[in-house]
């Protein structure tokens, strides 16, 4: 089958757990003989994009929403539709597989479904809640990416969080993420040396600063490696914190690592810290560490609570508690039997989540969607605008667009300022002041 995958980012750019899972699934489908095209947000092309079937063309929006004029929001919405249509025409997919749409147009699922292509979405974070706030057109009309396909959530905790926020995902299925057990292999037991590791995105939500503060409470023989990348400004804050705490000689910022290097880092660490502040949708880092035999000290939040069990697979600590992390490290240092117990329990837990099973389940959902589509009387993919708009969201888009464009035309004829409620998603004070003075 031909599969069109859509994601805001795709490796090597912004290679978080969500993006890595997308790439691993794409690779697995290609190994099974399927053709896959990846359509992602606008970004500089990677060297291998052309040969790997990656197009970085979709308009993308900032993580922090900014004021945008309605005509500019609508222009971006139109461009997203044109870009998607071009890939539908060129590639002729049998199915569209949605990944993280956090900074893309929220109408993409409905547009794909409206073209007659079955849609399956893999949801591994809260983009269904955040995306409509970042997409300026969706923000203006209150659109959400619903009623356009089948949704697969990475954990029940995430599905419940999105459902409680008012998104209709009650019928969604759960497909847990998986660990590449070959890449993250079990290392022999090691003597305690005080090597701690934080792995993951550098973000306040991940609690990197808490890990750093915990290190400052530990003996000088303990060290911390920080493996990951994030916004430069936040990394500078972390480095400044390390300097203020007087532990610069004990902390190494090692940047984003390849899977092979990360596996080595897990295997050579005595404990991996997972001090998250938010409800982690699933959390692959603890499972990867457990697969390698490293002990884990973690906050059991969100989907990660499914496999993090105190004294069995990890030592659990409360959120925002550097002292509790330091106490857990001291406990591990003094109890070899506990380390071995966690090492064995952690590996058993990791083996319950093989990546191959997750990939096979997603692929089966795609094949099932294609089969249902082909079983319909029409059974064809339409490359023309659908006669019936497939969702309320797209109907609202069309109606809102007509209102905006009509208002814009009237404003042009009268040389008057467009009304904010009808013609502006959100306008900055400076721009409002400029327009007021000119009128």
Pair 208, 224: CB distance under 8 Å: no
Same CATH topology for 2-178+356-396 and 195-352: the answer is: yes
Residue 331 vs residues 272, 274, 337: alpha-carbon distances, Å? 14, 17, 11
Q: What is the pLDDT of residue 434?
A: 35
Which of 68, 70, 74, 80 has the alpha carbon at shortest distance from 41?
A: 80
Contacts of 67 (CB under 8 A, 6+ apart): 425, 426, 427, 428, 431
- The residue extents of the domains of the chain are 2-178+356-396, 195-352
In the prediction, which pLDDT does 15 show?
Answer: 65
Residue 51: what pLDDT?
A: 78
Angle at 392 between CA 388 and CA 394, to 5 degrees: 70
pLDDT in the model for residue 420 = 37
Distance from C-alpha of 202 to C-alpha of 194, rounded to nearest angstrom: 22
The string of pLDDT tens digits covering residues 107-126 is 999 999 999 999 999 999 99
Q: What pLDDT is stored for residue 67 in this prediction?
A: 87
Angle formed by the axes of helices 208-216 and 232-245, nearest 10°: 10
pLDDT at residue number 250: 98
pLDDT for the residue 418: 39
Class of domain 195-352: alpha beta
Q: What is the pLDDT of residue 408?
A: 40
pLDDT of amino acid 187: 95
Predicted local distance difference test score (pLDDT) of residue 97: 97
CA angle 267, 270, 275 (to 5 degrees): 105
Would you state the pLDDT for residue 340? 97
Look at residue 32 in the predicted model and tell me its pLDDT. 96
Rounded Cα–Cα distance for residues 373 and 380 (Å): 8
Domain 2-178+356-396: top CATH class: alpha beta
Task: Say what the pTM is.
Answer: 0.83
Q: Which pLDDT does position 380 carry in this prediction?
A: 54
Q: Which ranges of the chain have pLDDT less than 70?
A: 14-15, 145-147, 375-439
């Amino acid at each position: 089958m031909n599969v069109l995958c859509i994601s805001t980012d795709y490796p090597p750019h912004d290679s978080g757990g969500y993006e890595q899972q997308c790439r691993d699934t794409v690779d697995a489908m290609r190994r099974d003989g399927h053709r896959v095209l990846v359509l992602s947000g606008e970004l500089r092309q990677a060297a291998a994009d052309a040969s790997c079937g990656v197009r970085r063309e979709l308009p993308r929006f900032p993580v922090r929403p900014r004021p945008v004029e309605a005509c500019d929001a609508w222009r971006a919405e139109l461009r997203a539709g044109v870009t998607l249509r071009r890939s539908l025409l060129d590639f002729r997919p049998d199915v569209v597989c949605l990944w993280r749409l956090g900074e893309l147009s929220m109408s993409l699922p409905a547009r794909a479904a409206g073209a007659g292509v079955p849609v399956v979405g893999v949801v591994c974070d809260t983009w269904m809640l955040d995306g409509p706030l970042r997409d300026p057109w969706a923000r203006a009309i209150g659109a959400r990416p619903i009623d356009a396909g089948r949704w697969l959530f990475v954990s029940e905790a995430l599905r419940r969080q999105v459902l409680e926020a008012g998104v209709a995902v009650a019928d969604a299925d759960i497909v847990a993420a998986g660990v590449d057990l070959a890449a993250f292999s079990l290392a022999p037991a090691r003597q305690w040396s005080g090597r701690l590791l934080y792995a993951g995105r550098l973000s306040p939500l991940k609690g990197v600063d808490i890990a750093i503060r915990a290190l400052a409470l530990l003996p000088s023989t303990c060290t911390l490696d920080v493996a990951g990348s994030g916004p430069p400004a936040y990394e500078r804050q972390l480095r400044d914190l390390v300097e203020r705490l007087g532990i610069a000689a004990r902390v190494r910022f090692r940047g984003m690592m390849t899977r092979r290097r990360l596996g080595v880092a897990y295997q050579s660490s005595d404990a991996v810290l997972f001090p998250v502040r938010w409800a982690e949708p699933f959390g692959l880092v603890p499972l990867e560490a457990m697969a390698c035999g490293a002990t884990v000290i973690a906050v059991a939040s969100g989907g990660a609570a499914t496999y993090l069990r105190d004294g069995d697979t990890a030592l659990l600590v409360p959120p925002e508690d550097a002292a509790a992390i330091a106490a857990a490290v001291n406990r591990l240092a003094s109890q070899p039997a506990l380390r071995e117990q966690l090492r064995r329990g952690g590996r058993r837990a990791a083996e319950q989540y093989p990546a191959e099973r997750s990939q096979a389940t997603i692929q089966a959902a795609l094949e099932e969607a294609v089969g249902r589509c082909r079983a319909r009387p029409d059974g064809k993919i339409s490359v023309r605008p659908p006669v019936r708009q497939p969702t309320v969201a797209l109907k609202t888009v069309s109606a809102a667009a007509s209102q905006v464009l009509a208002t814009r035309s009237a404003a042009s004829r009268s040389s008057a300022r467009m009304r904010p409620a009808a013609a502006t998603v959100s306008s900055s004070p400076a721009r409002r002041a400029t327009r007021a003075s000119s009128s």
